[in-house]
Structure 1
Amino acid sequence: MAIPDYARLNFDTLLRAASDGNLALMECLDAATREPRYVLCAVGRSDGEYASTPFGHLADGNPYDAYLPPDPDDPTGFLVSPTT
């Protein structure tokens, strides 16, 4: 499965921010649920002001329970654990 261009560009920006020391972990509120989220942000400075660009939040709880990884034997599929 191909990763879309916007995701690659965002990932490249995130890597650049990390290598430049401009990556921050910020506590924010989820706009829909108002629950606290810990968000990875690139931080820039313009005219003496700081600007943060959010890229995503850290998974709450066990991240292995939150995501299904790609299936190495099927480029269009994902590994799904059997339901019990």
Structure 2
Amino acid sequence: MSIPSHAQSNFQTLLRAAGDGNLALMECLDAVTGDPRYVICAVGRNDGDFVFTPFGHLADGNPYDAYLPPDPGDPGGFIHRGTPGEAS
């Protein structure tokens, strides 16, 4: 599977911000649930003001429970819980 170009571009921006020391971790509220989120932001400047561009939030709880990884045996698939050979 292919990662879309906008996601690759955002990732490169995030790497540059990290390399330049221009990352921040901000506590925000989820716009839908109102739950607190810890958001990774790139920090820039605009006319002397700081500008924070959100890239995503840190996973709550165990991040291994939040995501299904790509399946190395199926370029278009993902490993699902209970897949033979996978630890549950």
Instruction: Give the match for residue 35 of structure 2.
Output: 35
Q: CA deviation at 1:75?
A: 0.5
TM-score (norm 1): 0.96
The residue identity in structure 2 corresponding to 1:27 is: E
Give every structure 1 segment of 4 or more consecutive aligned residues whose post-TM-superposition deviation is greater than 2 Å. none
Which runs of 5 or more residues in structure 1 are unaligned? none
Task: Tell me the TM-score normalized by structure 2.
Answer: 0.92
Q: Distance in 1 between matches of 2:26 and 2:32?
A: 17
Identity %: 73
RMSD: 1.4
Deviations along 1:18-55, whole A, 9 cap, x unmatched?
Answer: 00000111000000000000000000012110000000
Quote the residue 2:54 is aligned against: 54
Give, in whole Å, the separation in 1 of the partners of 2:31 and 2:16: 27
| Counterpart code for 1:77 | G
For residue 2 of structure 1, report the CA deviation from its aligned partner.
0.2
How many residues end up aligned between the 2 structures? 84
Structure 2: gaps (5+ residues)? none
